[in-house]
Amino acid sequence: MSTAPKIWTRETGLVEKRDVWTAMKRGFRGRCPRCGEGKLFRAFLKTADNCSVCGLDFTPHRADDLPAYLVIVIVGHIVVPAILWIETNYTTPVWISFAAYLPFTFFASLGLLQPVKGAVVGLQWALRMHGFDENPPDGIPPV
């Protein structure tokens, strides 16, 4: 480890500007959060190793379970009020209720999972989280 103090100048503070909302919007669409051109995913939930256009490395992302939790919250806030409204105002047989609510919940969850994961990766890149910083601190091994 280096014991020499770091001297901060105007040049050391100049870093790439990263807009959070633009990065999240690009990630939501499945595109690279930096350039918006390259594909973020190589499979349904597998991120590519790097952007084919700008070369941004996607391997440091740590989305983990956050996209799944966010999808549960989003779909739950849509489905639960709809179910409560329908069940209190109309009398429907149980089989019709299951035939309507379960497929909608399933397909809405599947449809939102990849865009939400892309938005989380875009958020991590914009906030320079994990390994998305150009200058990682000394003494911390890569994950």
Strand partners, 57: 50
Torsion 101-107-113-118 (CA) sign: negative
Q: What pLDDT sits at residue 81?
A: 96
- Asked if residue 66 is part of any domain, the answer here is yes
Among candidate residues 130, 110, 115, 112, the one with its CA nearest the CA of residue 26: 115
pLDDT in tens, the chain (143 residues): 556 666 666 665 556 688 999 999 999 999 999 999 999 999 999 999 999 999 999 998 999 999 999 999 999 999 999 999 999 999 889 899 889 999 999 999 999 999 999 999 999 999 988 778 766 555 555 54
- Asked if residue 134 is part of any domain, the answer here is no
Greatest pairwise CA separation for the chain in angstroms: 74
**Amino acid identity, position 65:** D
| Distance between CA atoms of residues 9 and 134, nearest Å | 17
| Distance between CA atoms of residues 11 and 94, nearest Å | 66
- Asked if residue 138 is part of any domain, the answer here is no
| Distance between CA atoms of residues 111 and 52, nearest Å | 25
Residue range of the domain that includes 120:
19-127
Length in residues, the chain: 143
Residue 22 C-beta-side C-alpha neighbours within 13 Å = 7
| Distance between CA atoms of residues 65 and 56, nearest Å | 23
Strand partners, 31: 39
- Asked if residue 70 is part of any domain, the answer here is yes
- The total of structural domains in the chain comes to 1
- Asked if residue 143 is part of any domain, the answer here is no
- Asked if residue 46 is part of any domain, the answer here is yes
Q: What pLDDT sits at residue 91?
A: 87
Q: What pLDDT sits at residue 130?
A: 79
Q: What pLDDT sits at residue 143?
A: 45
- Asked if residue 101 is part of any domain, the answer here is yes
- Asked if residue 133 is part of any domain, the answer here is no
